[in-house]
Amino acid sequence: MDPVDATPDRDGIGKAADSLAAAPLLNCLLREAAEPVEPGVHRLRATGRLLRVHGTRRPTAPELRTDGTWQRLSHAELVKLTTEELRLLTGLSNPELPTEMLDSRDAVAAILTARAGATAPEDLYLRSEQSLITGHPHHPAPKARGTGPATAWLPYAPEAYARFPLTLLGVREDTVVEEGDTTALDTLGEAPPGYRLLPAHPWQLDLAARELTPAFADGRLVRLGHSAAGVWPTAAIRTVYAADGDLFLKFSLDVRITNDIRRLWRHDLLKLRRTDTAVTRAFTELPGAWLSDRGYRTADFAFEELAVLVRDGLRPHLAPGTTPVLAAALAEGFPGNPLDRITDPAAWWEAYLRAVVSPALGAFHRHGVVLEAHLQNTVVVVDAAGTPVQAVYRDAEGVKLLPDVERATGWERLVYCLVVNNLLEIAAALTERHPDADLWPTARRELKRHGEIPEVDELLSSPTLPGKTNLLLRWTGADGADARYLPLANPLRGA
């Protein structure tokens, strides 16, 4: 169940990287540009060519029907096929995305190589955050890390079990911009008179070196060394966990990761307090917990480049004897995964639903808060037996508030994140382990408990769910926040 457990020796790393990188690309291609013909066989819509794959949740071993026989495709050949199909399907060209697909595969190979000589964290939560070798299961290039060499980013890669100290900067006081509660930053070190402390991500400092050179030259910025303790990069890559202080810090990274350049954009920071206040207020009346994005600090001459956001730690939100686990890691698999030791999948699934569904639906209906309740923003808290007892949600940047967005738009986004990205993936991981488990009637019952929400009945009767089109979004150059959807079969209907 766990791709890490099957990590090969160096001779097999190339084949493993091909397989791990092909799975999410195939998921995208089959969802967005093909039609099923028979189990495992799909007809590509633009050319009519037949593509055969093995497996369902993580399709592998793609084969193209050529001259009456099935011809196995390497990852590079799959990228070429995808490029040809999309060019014909859309009438557009995109020289960047094929490069990203190939870079994503090479990044997986670099990660596998690095992991072979690294030690996984002992802490189960940290191990779960650093487990996502495949990453987003429906993105064509989930592991692409920009155009730089692997040596530039591997020291900061969660998948390589990285841990590193932060670079500490002093920012001249008259240039500091901050909002909210940033006092936790001042515990990381000491700034000289006339300066304020500003931690920085070392990779971002390298990426923004040219823009920051004048500020170092004229004294607006000074280097103060490094943090005493290392931090752990989480699955989000630019968000790190300072375990000693139980604190999360989120930085800008001028790198495209999945759909977006991962900066802390000015417009998002300026609305942060309003958004986080609304979510925090909602969770005073909801089950589960919210990790508050307390505030941010930056410099006026490098507002986005040097911004750092302060987020709650986990410990105050956890009941004694419980353990947090990243939900995305449950689906991908990792050593110690609670899914690997459950004996009653129906009871586990019911507990998971009860933990994650109620806060997400309650926030929407009673408080006008649209949580980005996908797997990477959901931390599941389990008891000693591995049974879910609570959900912890995070990341105000992805939250939408009503009526800033129309209710129908917010509901569609919530259904995609909560049902398609979250519940479908966890259910598939459970079914893979317990093929006889009948999970969707339980999910239907859990949703019907929230029948006061007008949209629930429509969700339960709809033949389709909204599936995000990450491949077409990237191919057409759409903004990463400009979600577009294709209809997927709805397992809740008639379950």
Tell which phi-psi region holds residue 336, choosing left (phi > 0), alpha (psi between -120 and 50) or beta: left
User: Could you tell me which residues are beta bridge partners of residue 104?
Assistant: none
Tens digit of each residue's pLDDT, the chain (495 residues): 444 444 456 668 999 999 999 999 999 999 999 999 999 999 999 999 999 999 999 999 999 999 999 999 999 999 999 999 999 999 999 999 999 999 999 999 999 999 999 999 999 999 999 999 999 999 999 999 987 899 999 999 999 999 999 999 999 999 999 999 999 999 999 999 999 999 999 999 999 999 999 999 999 999 999 999 999 999 999 999 999 999 999 999 999 999 999 999 999 999 999 999 999 999 999 999 999 999 999 999 999 999 999 999 999 999 999 999 999 999 999 999 999 999 999 999 999 999 999 999 999 999 999 999 999 999 999 999 999 999 999 999 999 999 999 999 999 999 999 999 999 999 999 999 999 999 999 999 999 999 999 999 999 999 999 999 999 999 998 865 667 899 999 999 988
Q: For residue 353, which of 373, 332, 372 has the smallest C-alpha distance?
A: 373
Q: For residue 120, which of 283, 335, 302 has the smallest C-alpha distance?
A: 335
Instruction: Count Cβ atoms within 10 A of the Cβ of residue 206 and give its class: 0-12 exposed, 13-18 middle, 19 or more buried.
Output: middle
Instruction: Extract long-range pairs of 207-211: CB within 8 Å, 24+ residues apart.
Output: 207/253, 207/254, 207/255, 208/254, 208/302, 208/305, 208/306, 211/302, 211/305
User: Strands, DSSP E only, in 301-417?
Assistant: 308-311, 323-326, 369-370, 378-382, 388-393, 400-401
Give the Cα separation of 296 and 311 in Å (integer). Answer: 9
pLDDT of 6 reads: 44
pLDDT of 482 reads: 67
Asked if 129 and 173 touch (Cβ cutoff 8 Å), the reply is no
User: Could you tell me which residues are beta bridge partners of residue 370?
Assistant: 400
pLDDT of 483 reads: 72
Give the Cα separation of 233 and 243 in Å (integer). Answer: 11
Q: Which pair of structure tokens corresponds to residue 8?
A: 């090969």
Q: For residue 271, which of 182, 180, 359, 195 has the smallest C-alpha distance?
A: 180
In angstroms, how far apart are the furthest CA atoms of the chain?
77
Give first-to-last CA distance, the chain, whole Å: 27
Q: What is the DSSP letter of 420?
A: I
N residues, the chain: 495
Asked if 220 and 171 touch (Cβ cutoff 8 Å), the reply is yes
DSSP string, 245-296: TTEEEEE-EEEEETTEEE---HHHHHTHHHHHHHHHHHHTSSSSEE--EEEE
**Phi (first) and psi of residue 324, to 5 degrees:** -85, 145
Asked if 61 and 23 touch (Cβ cutoff 8 Å), the reply is no
pLDDT of 363 reads: 98
Give the Cα separation of 370 and 182 in Å (integer). Answer: 25
Give the Cα separation of 305 and 204 in Å (integer). Answer: 8
User: Could you tell me which residues are beta bridge partners of residue 164?
Assistant: 231
The β-bridge relationship of strands 323-326 and 378-382 is antiparallel
